[in-house]
Amino acid sequence: MPYPNIAYKSYCWSFGTTSFRTKNFSQKIETLLLLLDDFWKHPENVNQDWKGNQHLQSSFYDFMKEHKFLTGDAERKAKDAREKTSGLADIGLITQNRKLSKVGKKLLEISKNNDFTADNILSIPQDSYIYFMQMLKTYNEFEGEYVRPYFVLLFLLSKFEYLTYEEFTFLLPLCINQFSTEKIAEGIIQIRNNQKTIDDLIIEILFSMDNYLEAQTLFLNTPVNKELICVVGINRKSRTYDKAYYPFYLELKKVFLLGKEDIFPLYKATKDITIGKYWRSFLFSSQSERAIKSSGRELLNDTVFTSVQNETELKKLFFRFMHLFKAKATLADYFDLNRRYIKNTDIVLFEDSTVKLDIIPKHIFKNLESDLLRYAFTKTNTLHDNIPLNNIFPELSFNEQDFISAVNEELHIDAETVSEAQSAVEQYRYKKFNKMIDEKFSNENLIQLLEYFENREDEKINEYVTDNADIPTIFEYILGIIWYKVCERQGKILDYMKLSLEADLLPKTHAGGGEADIVYEYQETPHYPSHSLLLEATLANANSQRAMELEPVTRHLGQHILRNNNLKSYSVFVSNKLYINVISDFRLRKFYTWYDNSDNSHFVQGLKIIPLETSDLKTIIQNELTYKELYPHFERSYQSSNMEARSWYEDLKAF
């Protein structure tokens, strides 16, 4: 029999597209902007239109591949090019025609200049500030109505101070209008008071939509067959995707209504369902096929299906859980993507399985719940324009006294000036950084990470530290932490590391790259004079180690000494593997003269460059050596008369 056409309707928002869920997220966005900017400058592309132009879109795919932005060969190049760039269009960095918007050009300029200095009321880097303003403007459309997801997030964080990862994943994206947002806010209170579950709330939101109610009514009043299940599955892509639910439903009926002892066919039927893992976890106490085969019904969980009395009850539960699990699978798939976009704003912290605003933003948005909610369901016409923040959210005002008051309230202090408040915030950041080192970067963990670097187990490094930074950047970051611990956690390491850090104080990589140096500053003590130490790190191979590092390390150190006029400053060069000619070259720098290119009358006679391998760092960590012990050792090694590279290095590493 013919069935009505029950249309799929979007019930959640997301940022970007899952086809651009990529590592080194900030860097990839900036690189993509650069590629688009270059692509449109080619004469053959200048006057072309992107929309509907599959040849042009395929050409851009090839252009991305040529510049090593992607690998492999997509079957549908044009589609892949559209998907790779659609997220940038969604947040207004490019137009729908894939041309850089005014704000996209501004972000590209910041990236090219490698200047991310914080100069705004949020005290976040310039690129993060642009992302923040763009996220405020970004909107999704739902049947003629609009939602600005970032405003919804700020509203909920202002109201509740935090969201759990589950609330962020499964509830926040369901806020697509005023009704659902107020329903979610009310539901969060009930969930935290153990009056409701997240699953209950998801079902309530879904079943407030007319298509789900229509589908449920049809399903309950119609004999079940494959076509019916495909209709009431309301699949976004195609009805045929849901045909595997029919044999699964039949097995449910046999087990829970007819008392069938053999539950293996039910278990096996879940394997044909794309999100069958949700059903298996829900229905079975074991995931072992062998156990399911041999033990039978005793491995069924006690669920609401256990007590069904008739097929109507069975159908109600099947329909409920089919759509609950579908929704949860979709929402879970969007978690990582949403987090990446939101983290780019650098005001939201994802830590300890909670999502919350950082210390200053928390107070900036405090008591603005009604204003945030009012803007949350409006469309903006300035998505592509680089406009001031007060034109996006006029109610947001924050002056120096507000800053001082916010810091005093948050940190329970009595600062009277901006300087005092800023100093307190800096102390707070170091307290947070030290806590992270204690929990995440113990000596044992650092040694393990160094072994990963030695063996180039990059996936494990990204998994443990972050995947929003490339491996060389993470190597510099880990070197900075090691040296901070060597220095007994003295010194402003967060300033010394010439790296861009996220709000959670983990590193991120930019397309323009950063300075390779970690410049550690030391005041005079009984153990060493006042000086700077330039820490340089590389993971290059033998040939590129010479080409990439010999000249830059020498130049960095020579120019630094000329600029600061301190002959006691020196460099430590660290690599996962040192090559003998690199060691020899650095040793010979003791008798090297570095001239100032702009004035040859200024020069440095002799450069102190100490080469170390990651194996040496492990020795330093294992023996808990401190800088006051290492400095005289490095100085003795530098001043020694031994010039033969191999024996000199062996003496050097004998800590």
Encode pLDDT of 34-58 as tens digits: 999 999 999 999 999 999 999 999 9
- 136 Cβ neighbours under 8 A, 6+ residues apart: 148, 150, 151, 392, 393
pLDDT > 90 fraction of the chain, expressed in percent and rounded = 79
- The contacts of residue 140 (CB under 8 Å, 6+ apart) are 13, 146, 147, 149, 176
> Rounded distance, CA 275 to CA 279, Å?
8
Determine how β-strand 354-357 pairs with β-strand 348-351.
Answer: antiparallel
The two structure tokens encoding residue 590: 């003791």
- Say if residue 514's pLDDT is above 50: no
245 or 401: which leads in pLDDT: 245
The secondary element (H helix, E strand) that includes residue 354 is strand 354-357
Q: DSSP 3-state assignment of 30? A: helix
Q: For residue 193, give every residue at least 6 positions away whose Cβ sits within 8 Å of its Cβ, in sequence order, or none.
A: none
> Which 8-state DSSP code applies to residue 100?
B
pLDDT tens, position by position, 562-606: 998 899 999 999 999 999 999 999 999 999 998 987 888 788 999
Encode pLDDT of 435-483 as tens digits.
999 999 999 999 999 999 999 999 999 999 999 999 999 999 999 999 9
Residue 95, pLDDT score:
96
Task: Average the pLDDT over 197-219 and give the result.
Answer: 96
Q: Which DSSP letter does residue 476 get?
A: H
Class of domain 470-652: alpha beta
Among candidate residues 6, 8, 9, 10, the one with its CA nearest the CA of residue 231: 6
Nearest to 497 by CA among 510, 472, 516, 524: 516
Range with top average pLDDT, 6-20, 492-506, 508-522: 492-506
| pLDDT tens digits along 289-307 | 999 988 889 999 999 999 9
Strands 593-596 and 599-605: antiparallel
Spell out the domain ranges in the chain.
113-398, 470-652
Distance CA 385, CA 181 (A): 28
pLDDT beyond 80 at 8:
yes
**What's the pLDDT tens digit per position in 416-443?**
998 999 899 999 999 999 999 999 999 9
For residues 590 and 608, the answer to whether their CB atoms sit within 8 Å is yes
The residue type at 305? F
- Stretch 258-276: mean pLDDT, rounded? 94
Q: Is there a contact between 251 and 284 (Cβ–Cβ < 8 Å)?
A: no
**Residue 284 carries which side chain, given as an amino acid letter?**
F
The answer on pLDDT for 21 being more than 80 is no
For residues 253 and 545, the model is more confident at 253
What's the mean per-residue pLDDT of the chain? 92
Per-residue confidence at 89, pLDDT binned at 50, 70, 90? very high
* Per-residue confidence (pLDDT) for residue 541, from 0 to 100: 57
| Helix (H), strand (E) counts: the chain | 31, 13
DSSP, collapsed to helix, strand or coil, labels residue 453 as: helix
Binning pLDDT at 50, 70 and 90, where does residue 542 land?
A: very low
Q: Answer whether residue 217 shows pLDDT above 70.
A: yes
Give pLDDT tens digits for 95-123.
Answer: 999 999 999 999 999 988 887 888 887 88
**Residue 177 CB burial class (10 angstroms; 0-12, 13-18, ≥19):** middle
CB 614 within 8 A of CB 453: yes
CA distance linking residue 109 with residue 120, whole number of Å:
17
Q: How far is CA 164 from CA 188, 245, 467, in A?
A: 10, 32, 22
Please give the Cα distance from 451 to 542 (Å, whole number).
19
Taking the CB of residue 190, how many other CB atoms lie within 10 A of it? 13
